């Protein structure tokens, strides 16, 4: 299958009250394990490259990795650039074949966020690429520093969407990036209010820290894209640790990463199944 856009997979989810999972990847191994998990459930999947992945792989190789995996896959795959704060990276990503980009202007005032997002939308739309943007601010940045959470105001969300016409809107309702345990306390009333104010697929960031029952609930409140990163990092690292701690010495990096990535596929399947219940 070829790559698809974010809008293509989210529109069906949004209209039918389920969510599609977006997973962060950093290497070929975790990316392919994510796609394998999605294939086993016959589900579309969003592969997301954030700043660290782009720094490690390069924007060209990150795009090629997803493109090759999508061509071999039996399910639709979205190549999504996650949390880009600069326009240059966005335009490079589009040039190299990402089918979806997130412009993250959440650190800016609403006027500048709108201005930059509009520019991204005008370029991306002309080239058939989807755009996600953020209004309000999810606690903790992708790099782990405290950036101060700002819960999303439903009226601002509505103004932002009317002004930009993005394909997906990330909002802050109490989750935070990088949580080790599923203990976030989401404001579900706010989630519903935003959903009632804005007719666009919503995105939840920091979903590793959100309880399963809350994830299920917000999928019904228009959150059609659920971003999961930290959970997979832990599973991958734990898999490597377990193998290295076992009594048999495994002098084979390929065996080590392939073994560790199997656990990623399991978690991917669990999350996908949960979000489409
Ligand atoms: O953009 C990526 C996500 O928001 C991932 O958040 O690492 O806390 O699951 P997480
Ligand atoms: Zn995020």
Q: Number of structural domains, the chain?
A: 1
Could you tell me the two tokens for 277? 């219940």
Instruction: For the beta carbon of residue 12, count every other beta carbon within 10 angstroms.
Output: 12
Does the global pTM surpass 0.95? yes
Residue-level pLDDT at 83:
98
- DSSP secondary structure, the chain, as one string: --EE-HHHHHHHHHHHT--EEEEE--SHHHHHHHHHHHHHTT--EEEEE-HHHHHHH-HHHHHHHHHHHHHH-SS-EEEEEEEE-SHHHHHHHHHHT-SEEEE--TTS-HHHHHHHHHHHHHHHHHTT-EEEEEESB-BS-TTS-----BPPPHHHHHHHHHHH--SEEEE-SS-BTT-SSS-----HHHHHHHHHH--S-EEE--GGGS-HHHHHHHHTTTEEEEEE-HHHHHHHHHHHHHHHHSSS----HHHHHHHHHHHHHHHHHHHHHHHT-
pLDDT in tens, 194-235: 999 999 999 999 999 999 999 999 999 999 999 999 999 999
Q: Kindly indicate the confidence band of residue 266, based on its pLDDT and cuts at 50, 70 and 90.
A: very high
Q: Which ligand is nearest to the CA of 106?
A: 2
Say what the pLDDT of residue 230 is.
98
**What ligand has the least distance to the C-alpha of 22?**
1
The verdict on the CB of residue 99 being under 6 Å from ligand 1 is no
Residue-wise pLDDT tens digits, 13-72:
999 999 999 999 999 999 999 999 999 999 999 999 999 999 999 999 999 999 999 999
Q: How far is the CA of 207 from the centre of ligand 1 (A)?
A: 6
Check pocket membership of 137 for ligand 1, CB cut-off 6 A: no
Cβ(51) – ligand 1 distance below 6 Å: no
pLDDT digits (tens, 9 = 90+) for 152-187: 999 999 999 999 999 999 999 999 999 999 999 999
Q: What pLDDT score does 246 carry?
A: 87
Residue 162 CB coordination number (10 Å)? 11
Residue ID of nearest Cα to ligand 1 atom 4: 205
> Residue 57 maps to which CATH number?
3.20.20.70
30 is catalytic: no
Quote the domain boundaries for residue 111. 3-276
Distance CA 202, CA 192 (A): 11
């Amino acid at each position: 299958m070829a790559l698809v856009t974010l809008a293509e997979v989210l529109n069906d989810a949004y209209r039918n009250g389920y969510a599609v999972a977006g997973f962060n990847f950093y290497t070929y191994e975790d990316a392919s394990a994510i796609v394998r998990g999605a294939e086993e459930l016959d589900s579309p999947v969003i592969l997301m490259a954030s700043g660290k992945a782009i720094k490690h792989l390069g924007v060209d190789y990150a795009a090629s990795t997803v493109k090759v995996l999508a061509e071999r896959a039996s399910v639709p795959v979205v190549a999504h650039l996650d949390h880009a704060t600069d326009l240059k990276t966005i335009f490079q990503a589009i040039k190299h074949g990402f089918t979806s980009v997130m412009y993250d202007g959440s650190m800016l005032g609403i006027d500048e966020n709108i201005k930059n997002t509009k520019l991204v939308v005008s370029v991306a739309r002309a080239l058939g690429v989807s755009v996600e943007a953020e209004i309000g601010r999810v606690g903790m940045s992708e790099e782990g520093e405290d950036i101060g959470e700002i819960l999303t105001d439903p009226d601002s969300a509505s103004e932002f969407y009317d002004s930009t016409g993005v394909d997906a809107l990330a909002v802050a309702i109490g989750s935070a990036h990088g949580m080790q345990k599923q203990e976030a306390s989401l404001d579900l009333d706010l989630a519903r209010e935003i959903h009632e104010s804005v007719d666009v697929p919503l995105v939840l960031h920091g979903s590793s820290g959100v309880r399963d029952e809350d994830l299920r609930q917000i999928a019904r409140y228009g959150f059609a894209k659920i971003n999961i990163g930290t959970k997979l990092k832990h599973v991958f690292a734990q898999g490597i640790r377990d193998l290295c701690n076992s009594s048999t010495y495994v002098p084979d990096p390929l065996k080590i990463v392939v073994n560790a990535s199997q656990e990623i596929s399991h978690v991917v399947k669990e999350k996908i199944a949960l979000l489409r219940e």
